[in-house]
Structure 1
Amino acid sequence: MYSSKAVSQQAEFERELFVASISLEGNERTKSAIIYRELSFAEGESRPQAELVSELERSRRNIFNTNLFISVDADLETRADSAFVTIKMKERLYLLPLPILYLADRSFNEWWYNQDHDLKRVIYGLQLNHSNLSGNGDVLKLKTYGGFIPYFELSYSRPYIDKRQRMGLSGGVFYSTQKSFPVRTWEDKLDFIDTEARSRQRKGAFVEYNLRNALYHFHTIYLGYTQTSVSDSVTAINPNYFGDAGQRLSYGTFKYDYRFDKRDNYIYPLDGHLFNAGLTYFGMASSKEVNYLRLNAEYFGFYPLAGRFYAGVKARGQLSFPKKQLYPFVLGLGYRNSLVRGYELNVIDGQHFGLVQTDLKYQILNKTFNISKFLKLKQFNSVPVGIYGRVFFDTGYIRNFNPQFSNSSLSNKLLYGYGVGFDLSTFYDTVFNLNYSVNQTGFNRVYFGIQRYL
Structure 2
Amino acid sequence: MGTVQSQNLPAVDADTTALVLIGSVSIEGNYRTRTPIILREMALKPGDTLRRSELPDRLEIDRRKIVNTNLFVTVEMQTLPQEATTEDATEVVDIRVVVKERWYFLAIPVFQLADRNFNEWWYDRDRDLRRVTYGLYMSYNNLTGRADRLRFLAEFGFIPKYEMTYSVPYIDKAQKLGITTGVSYTTNKSMPYRTWRDKLDYFNSENLNRERFYTFVSLTRRNKFYTFHSVDFRWNYIGLSDTITALNPHYLLGGRSLQQYFQLSYILSHDRRDNVQYPLRGRIGGFQVSKLGLLPTDNVNLAYLYGWYRHYIPISKRWFANSGIRGRISLPRRQPYLQTLGLGYRSDLVRGYELYVVDGQHYALLQNELKFKLFDIQKHFSWIPLQQFNTIPLATYLNTFADAGYVRNFYPERSNTRLGNTLLYGVGMGLDVVTFYNMTARFNVTVNGNGEQRFFFNFGRQF
Give the TM-score range, shorter chain. over 0.9
Aligned counterpart, 1:15: 18
Runs of 4 or more above 6 Å deviation:
none
Distance 2:180 2:247 in 1: 38
Distance 1:145 1:14 in 2: 61
Q: Given the alignment, which residue of 423, 426, 444 partners 2:432?
A: 423
Aligned counterpart, 2:148: 138
Contact preservation (8 Å) 1:243, 1:289? no
Q: Given the alignment, which residue of 318, 328, 339 partners 2:338?
A: 328
Segments of structure 1 that go 5 or more residues without pairing to the other structure are: 1-7
Of 261-270 and 107-116, the range deviating more from structure 2: 107-116
Alpha-carbon distance, 1:44 to partner: 1.5
SS in 2 for 1:129: strand
Contact preservation (8 Å) 2:253, 2:335? no
Q: Residues 287-326 of structure 1: matches in 2 within 5 Å?
A: 287=297, 289-326=299-336
Letter in 2 for 1:415: L
Contact preservation (8 Å) 2:262, 2:298? no
What CA deviation, in whole Å up to 9, does each residue of 1:128-147 have, x standing for no partner? 11111100000011111111
Contact preservation (8 Å) 1:300, 1:314? yes
Distance 1:403 1:99 in 2: 41
2:37 aligned with 1:34, yes or no?
A: yes
Distance 2:431 2:17 in 1: 42
Q: Residues 78-227 of structure 1: matches in 2 within 5 Å?
A: 78-79=81-82, 80=85, 81-227=91-237
Distance 2:136 2:98 in 1: 32
Contact preservation (8 Å) 1:245, 1:289? no
Alpha-carbon distance, 1:288 to partner: 5.8
Distance 2:53 2:232 in 1: 41
Contact preservation (8 Å) 1:244, 1:289? no
Distance 1:345 1:204 in 2: 28
Aligned counterpart, 2:4: none
SS in 2 for 1:112: helix
Contact preservation (8 Å) 1:370, 1:383? yes
Higher relative contact order (CA 8 A, sep 6+): 2
Contact preservation (8 Å) 2:249, 2:255? no
Alpha-carbon distance, 1:405 to partner: 1.0
Alpha-carbon distance, 1:414 to partner: 1.0
2:248 aligned with 1:244, yes or no?
A: no
Q: Residues 266-415 of structure 1: matches in 2 within 5 Å?
A: 266-287=276-297, 289-373=299-383, 375-415=384-424
Letter in 2 for 1:136: R
SS in 2 for 1:404: helix
Contact preservation (8 Å) 2:79, 2:96? yes
Aligned counterpart, 1:453: 462
Alpha-carbon distance, 1:245 to partner: 6.1
Contact preservation (8 Å) 2:260, 2:299? no
Distance 1:252 1:326 in 2: 16
2:271 aligned with 1:261, yes or no?
A: yes
Distance 2:397 2:404 in 1: 22
Letter in 2 for 1:244: G
Alpha-carbon distance, 1:339 to partner: 0.8
Contact preservation (8 Å) 2:302, 2:335? yes
Alpha-carbon distance, 1:67 to partner: 0.6
How many residue pairs get matched? Answer: 445
Q: Given the alignment, which residue of 14, 24, 29 partners 2:27?
A: 24
Distance 1:50 1:178 in 2: 60
What CA deviation, in whole Å up to 9, does each residue of 1:258-277 have, x standing for no partner? 11000000000000000121
Segments of structure 2 that go 5 or more residues without pairing to the other structure are: 1-11, 86-90
Distance 1:165 1:90 in 2: 23
Distance 1:390 1:448 in 2: 14
Letter in 2 for 1:331: L
Q: Percent identical across equivalent pairs?
A: 41
Alpha-carbon distance, 1:358 to partner: 0.5
2:54 aligned with 1:51, yes or no?
A: yes
Contact preservation (8 Å) 2:245, 2:255? no
What CA deviation, in whole Å up to 9, does each residue of 1:64-87 have, x standing for no partner? 100111111111233441011111
Distance 1:193 1:220 in 2: 37
What CA deviation, in whole Å up to 9, does each residue of 1:346-393 have, x standing for no partner? 0000111111110110001111111222x2211111111110001111
Aligned counterpart, 2:7: none
Q: Given the alignment, which residue of 437, 442, 450 partners 1:433?
A: 442
Of 243-252 and 290-299, the range deviating more from structure 2: 243-252
Distance 1:244 1:398 in 2: 24
Aligned counterpart, 1:5: none
Aligned counterpart, 1:4: none
Alpha-carbon distance, 1:306 to partner: 2.5
